[in-house]
Homo-oligomer: A and B are copies of this chain.
Amino acid sequence: MTAILISEVGPRDGLQNIATVMPLAAKKAWIAAEAAAGVREIEVGSFVPAKLLPQLADTAEVVAFAKTIPGLIVAVLVPNARGAAAAIAAGVDKLTLPLSVSETHSLANLRKTHAQVLDEARAIAALIAALPVARRPHFEGSLSTVFGCTLEGAIADAQVARLADDLMQAGCDEVGLADTTGYADPAAVRRMIALVRRVVGDGALTGIHLHNTRGLGLANALAALDAGLTTLDSSLGGLGGCPFAPGASGNIVTEDLAFMLAAMGYQTGIDLEKLIAVRTILSDALAGEPLYGFLPDAGLPLGFAY
């Protein structure tokens, strides 16, 4: 059985897309329960200024708690070297720097040109290189809007290839693909994986971040699995995802993804019943926030074994 790593991004991508601020105690309960259900990597927050994302202002404390859970890979998003320094100080295992392949989107979202984001990538790599080897976090450069941008539309292949190479040259350990806008389809997923692999090699592209904005999230995940990717981002309850808000979130649902993988015989280490039970922590702490997912309502097939 092939092992697939589900990287739960709800505490970061989910919470940053809803107005309610989840109390620290609920975040801790969520992360602990999901780790206990067998999820092995959780993106627990983002080191951004609290005034920009008050929902994630307690990320350092969340990281400190998550690091007490044996075996859990504690990941965060960072927008720049300043955030990376804070992430390193907090002791994260993995940090992800997004680089939007649409420069229009990069300017609108991070207020940075491509050159400026790559400067940050180099600075982050330098921070990491200065650490003792055993303390160095894994550093991923995430190619966001890679399947198209709500402002620019399609992005030229040559630009994607150049930026993937730039991120590796800047010192990333690997690059990831992110369908920020929910524009991906299975053919595009296959094509983009092949394109980026030609630049960075097979070993430096293992993960993909998919949204379900147009309902193709799990079909796109299947295409990525077929192409050999082994890390898939998803969000418990599809949190943060009004899948219908243009340009907004709508992560694929962890419960449904975990079910698909289990049904197909992939090994994720996840106990599906325990995973579904974690939803009550979200519904209790975020009253009125819609949770998505088909499996939680339909239940497992009769006699389902995994």
> Which A residues lie at the B interface, using CB under 8 A?
148-154, 181-183, 185-188, 212-216, 218-219, 221-223, 226, 243-244, 246, 253, 256, 259-260, 263-265, 293-295, 297-299, 301-303
B153→A301 contact, CB < 8 A: yes
B303→A154 contact, CB < 8 A: yes
25 A-B pairs in the complex with CB atoms less than 8 angstroms apart: A148-B301, A149-B302, A151-B302, A153-B302, A154-B303, A181-B301, A183-B301, A185-B264, A187-B265, A188-B263, A212-B294, A213-B294, A213-B298, A214-B259, A214-B295, A214-B298, A215-B253, A215-B256, A215-B259, A215-B295, A218-B218, A219-B219, A243-B297, A243-B298, A244-B294
A150→B302 contact, CB < 8 A: yes
Residue among B148, B153, B187, B222 making CB contact with A264, cutoff 8 Å: B187
**A interface: dominant SS:** loop
Q: Which residues does chain B contribute within 8 Å of A253, judged by CB atoms?
A: 215
Q: Which residues does chain B contribute within 8 Å of A299, judged by CB atoms?
A: 246
Docked Cα-Cα span, A249 to B4, in Å, equals: 31
Docked Cα-Cα span, A10 to B213, in Å, equals: 23
Q: Which residues does chain B contribute within 8 Å of A187, judged by CB atoms?
A: 263-265
Q: Which residues does chain B contribute within 8 Å of A148, judged by CB atoms?
A: 301-303
Please name the residue on chain B nearest to A293 by beta carbon.
B215
Contacts A185-B263, A215-B256, A243-B297 known; list 20 others, CB within 8 Å: A148-B302, A148-B303, A151-B302, A153-B302, A153-B303, A154-B303, A181-B301, A185-B264, A186-B260, A186-B264, A187-B265, A213-B294, A214-B259, A215-B295, A216-B218, A216-B260, A216-B263, A244-B298, A246-B298, A246-B299
Q: Which residues does chain B contribute within 8 Å of A182, judged by CB atoms?
A: 298
Docked Cα-Cα span, A17 to B302, in Å, equals: 22
Q: Which residues does chain B contribute within 8 Å of A303, judged by CB atoms?
A: 148, 153-154
Q: Which residues does chain B contribute within 8 Å of A215, judged by CB atoms?
A: 218, 253, 256, 259-260, 293-295
Closest 4 CB pairs of A and B: A153-B303, A215-B294, A185-B263, A244-B297
A294→B243 contact, CB < 8 A: yes
Q: Which residues does chain B contribute within 8 Å of A295, judged by CB atoms?
A: 214-215
Please name the residue on chain B nearest to A262 by beta carbon.
B185
Please name the residue on chain B nearest to A252 by beta carbon.
B215
Q: Which residues does chain B contribute within 8 Å of A213, judged by CB atoms?
A: 294, 298
A264 to chain B minimum Cβ distance, whole angstroms, is 4
Q: Which residues does chain B contribute within 8 Å of A263, judged by CB atoms?
A: 185, 187-188, 216
Between A182, A183, A187, A216, the greatest number of chain B beta carbons within 10 A of the residue's beta carbon is seen for A216
B150→A256 contact, CB < 8 A: no
B185→A260 contact, CB < 8 A: yes
A218 to chain B minimum Cβ distance, whole angstroms, is 4
Please name the residue on chain B nearest to A259 by beta carbon.
B214
Q: Which residues does chain B contribute within 8 Å of A185, judged by CB atoms?
A: 260, 263-264
